[in-house]
């Protein structure tokens, strides 16, 4: 069996090569999957992709023509795959959980960095500047955090926030009974939160869930955290919110237009994207490059689950991590036969 890996970095290769495989050949490509690069999968049974690869209808047709049988996402989110179109042609599997702790802890790390001005202090002390002017932060204890999406990552983040002595408001399309938070409607969450953290998937319902109108409903000085998917936020509206001082800060691990920028080194170049450049120029904005998942534990789990998914599909013809083509969701399919609606 041959697997073509797209958009790979040295740490991806290492984590997959650490797992001993018989009769499996890996072909690693730096390039992202799109219609111009799909031909690289020639002779491969499986295509393994990440968050910024594109598997739209055109690419799926091309892969199908080449004889590819499985698209194995080595990530949880699958908004970059046209699931409905793939149905009946190519099986799509993903890694539903690899370390919710990695992402939730990164969200809290960004929040603490921002509000305690660690990013500024680090640069100062590196330059032997030990002054404290401009570094005043605020306590998290007693503050209210609004969490949108209380799945695996949202719950861990909620537990962390509870540990800090914060009050937690939550919104989820499918609320759970064992979450240590008070479920409220979105408007109540927007109006009552000092900090808002996004942990829901990107769907047609959640696209731009943070927009001009929702920002208007928020508290002055609200902090917005996004470690989920960039397009949950209308970036122009966020920028305006920061410029008008309504939004007190943003911690972004993801960005709507990240696919041509993130994971690459542009340090010697002029960035064409004025929006991300303006955001990065703000003292109260912290951007990381879709890094929240990047822990040793998560990489190991991703490689192991991805290869198991492929093995299950090959040997049994199904995988528990095959995505639902009809509804595009895992969580809502619990009632269906085999937890799938196809
Ligand atoms: P999950 O599937 O366990 O939880 C998602 C939650 O969102 C569920 O409780 C679901 O009911 C809820 N939800 C679905 N539609 C909603 C809606 N319209 N409004 C409100 N809530 C809704 O997913 P998990 O593992 O917690 O991951 C969350 C997201 O984090 C993923 O979809 C992915 O986009 C992102 N992610 C980011 C990573 C990074 O490195 N930055 C790494 C892994 C995931």
Residues 6+ apart with CB under 8 A from 269: none
- Atom of ligand 1 lying closest to residue 199 CA: 28
Closest CA to 202 of 81, 106, 47: 81
Contact call for residues 252 and 279 (beta carbons, < 8 A): yes
Q: Which residues are catalytic?
A: 229, 258, 290
The pTM assigned to this predicted structure is 0.89
- Atom of ligand 1 lying closest to residue 96 CA: 25
Burial of 262: CB neighbours in 10 Å, binned 0-12, 13-18, 19+: buried
Distance 218 CA to ligand 1 centre (A): 22
Contact call for residues 341 and 324 (beta carbons, < 8 A): yes
pLDDT tens, position by position, 227-278 = 999 999 999 999 999 999 999 999 999 999 998 899 889 999 999 999 999 9
Per-residue pLDDT of the chain (342 residues; tens, 9 = 90+): 999 999 999 999 999 999 887 889 999 999 999 999 999 999 999 999 999 999 999 999 999 999 999 999 999 889 899 998 998 899 999 999 999 999 999 999 999 999 999 999 999 999 999 999 999 999 999 999 999 999 999 999 999 999 999 999 999 999 999 999 999 999 999 999 999 999 999 999 999 999 999 999 999 999 999 999 999 999 999 999 999 999 999 999 999 999 889 988 999 999 999 999 999 999 999 999 999 999 999 999 999 999 999 999 999 988 889 987 766 655 545 545 455 666
Question: Pocket residues for ligand 1 (CB within 6 Å)?
Answer: 76-77, 97, 100, 103, 148-154, 171-174, 199-203, 205-206, 227-229, 253-254, 290, 292-293, 331
Distance 151 CA to ligand 1 centre (A): 6
Contact call for residues 79 and 54 (beta carbons, < 8 A): no
């Amino acid at each position: 069996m041959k697997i073509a890996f797209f958009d790979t970095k040295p740490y991806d290769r290492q984590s997959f090569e650490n797992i001993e495989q018989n009769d499996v050949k890996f072909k690693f490509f730096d390039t992202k999957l799109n219609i111009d690069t799909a031909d690289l999968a020639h002779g491969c049974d499986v295509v393994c992709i990440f968050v910024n690869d594109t598997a739209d209808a055109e690419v799926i047709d091309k892969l199908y023509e080449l004889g590819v049988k499985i698209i194995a996402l080595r990530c949880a989110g699958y908004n970059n795959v046209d699931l409905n179109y793939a149905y009946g042609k190519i099986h799509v599997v993903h890694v539903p959980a690899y370390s919710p702790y990695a992402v939730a802890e990164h969200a809290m790390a960004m929040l603490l960095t921002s509000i305690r001005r660690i990013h500024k202090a680090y640069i100062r002390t590196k330059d032997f500047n030990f002054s404290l002017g401009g570094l005043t932060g605020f306590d998290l204890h007693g503050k209210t955090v609004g969490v949108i999406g209380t799945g695996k990552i949202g719950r861990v983040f909620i537990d962390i926030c509870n540990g800090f002595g914060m009050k937690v408001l939550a919104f989820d399309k499918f609320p759970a009974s064992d979450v240590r938070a008070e479920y409220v409607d979105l408007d109540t969450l927007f109006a009552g939160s000092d900090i808002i953290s996004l942990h829901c998937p990107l769907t047609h319902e959640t696209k731009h869930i943070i927009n001009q109108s929702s920002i208007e409903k928020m508290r002055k000085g609200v902090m917005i955290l996004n470690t989920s998917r960039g397009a949950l936020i209308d970036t122009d509206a966020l920028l305006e919110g920061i410029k008008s001082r309504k939004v007190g800060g943003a911690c972004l691990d993801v960005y709507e237009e990240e696919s041509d920028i993130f994971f690459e080194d542009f340090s010697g170049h002029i960035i064409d994207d004025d929006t991300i450049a303006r955001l990065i120029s703000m003292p109260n904005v912290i951007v990381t490059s879709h890094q929240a998942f990047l822990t040793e534990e998560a990489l190991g789990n991703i490689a192991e689950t991805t290869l198991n998914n492929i093995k299950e599909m090959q040997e049994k013809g199904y995988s528990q991590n095959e995505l639902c083509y009809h509804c595009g969701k895992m969580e809502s399919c619990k009632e269906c036969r085999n937890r799938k609606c196809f």
